[in-house]
A and B are shown apart, each in its own frame.
Chain A
Amino acid sequence: MKKRKKTYLKNRVIFVDEQLIKNGIRIDGRKLDELRPIEAKVGVLKNADGSAFFRLGNTMAVAGVFGPRKVYPKHEEQAEKAILRTQYKMAPFATETRGRPGPNRRSTEISMVTRNSLLPVIFVEEYPKTAIDVHIEVLQADASTRCVGINAAALALADAGVPMRDLVSSCSAGKVNDTVVLDVAGKEDTEGELDLPIAYYPKRNQITLLQMDGIADSSEVKKIIQLAVKGCKQIYEKQKEALRSKYALEKMDDVIS
Chain B
Amino acid sequence: MIELDTHLIRHMALDEKRIDGRSPDEYREITIEPDFVTSAEGSCRVKIGNTEVLVGVKIDVAEPFADTPNEGVLMVSSEFVPLASSDFESGPPGEESIEVSRVVDRTIRESKAIDFEKLCIVPGEKVWMVCVDIDVLDYDGNLIDASSLAATIALMNARLPDLNDEKKSIYGKKGKNKLPMSGMPLATTFAKISGKIFSDPIKIEERSLDAVLTVGTAVKDGKTMLCAMQKGGTGGFSLEEIEQIFDMAIKKGDVLRKKAEKFV
Contacts and interface: CB of A to CB of B under 8 A. Distances in A.
Interface string B225-258: 1111111111111110011001100100000000
A112 B99 contact: yes
14 contacts: A3-B67, A3-B68, A6-B70, A105-B98, A105-B102, A109-B99, A109-B102, A206-B238, A207-B231, A211-B230, A212-B227, A216-B226, A217-B226, A229-B239
Determine the interface band of chain B, counting residues with CB < 8 A from chain A. 35 or more
Interface size class of A (residues with CB under 8 A): 35 or more
Nearest to B95: A112
B218 interface: yes
Contact of A209 (B93, B228, B231, B250): B231
B176 to A, nearest CB: 25
A196 B218 CA distance: 17
B106 interface: yes
B231 A210 contact: yes
Interface string A100-116: 00000110110111001
Contacts of B232: 112-113, 116
Interface string B65-104: 0011010000000000000000000000101001101100
A9 to B, nearest CB: 16
Given A105-B98, A109-B102, A111-B95, A214 B234 contact: no
Nearest to A168: B236
Contact of A113 (B67, B112, B231, B250): B231
A217 B225 CA distance: 4
Interface string A196-207: 100001001111
Contacts of A213: 106, 110, 228
Given A105-B102, A109-B102, A218 B231 contact: no
A218 B236 contact: no
A207 B226 contact: no
Nearest to A205: B238
Contact of B234 (A6, A116, A211, A221): A116
A213 to B, nearest CB: 6
Given A210-B230, A213-B106, A213-B110, A205 B239 contact: yes
Contacts of B228: 212-213
Interface in A99-145: 105-106, 108-109, 111-113, 116, 119-120
A179 interface: no
Interface string B167-209: 0000000000000000000000000000000000000000000
B234 A218 contact: no
B124 to A, nearest CB: 13
B210 to A, nearest CB: 9
B239 A119 contact: no
A226 interface: yes
B99 A204 contact: no
Contact of A218 (B98, B109, B233, B246): B246
Nearest to B240: A205
B5 to A, nearest CB: 15
A206 B99 contact: no
B241 to A, nearest CB: 9
A68 B110 CA distance: 40
A199 B236 CA distance: 9
B262 interface: no
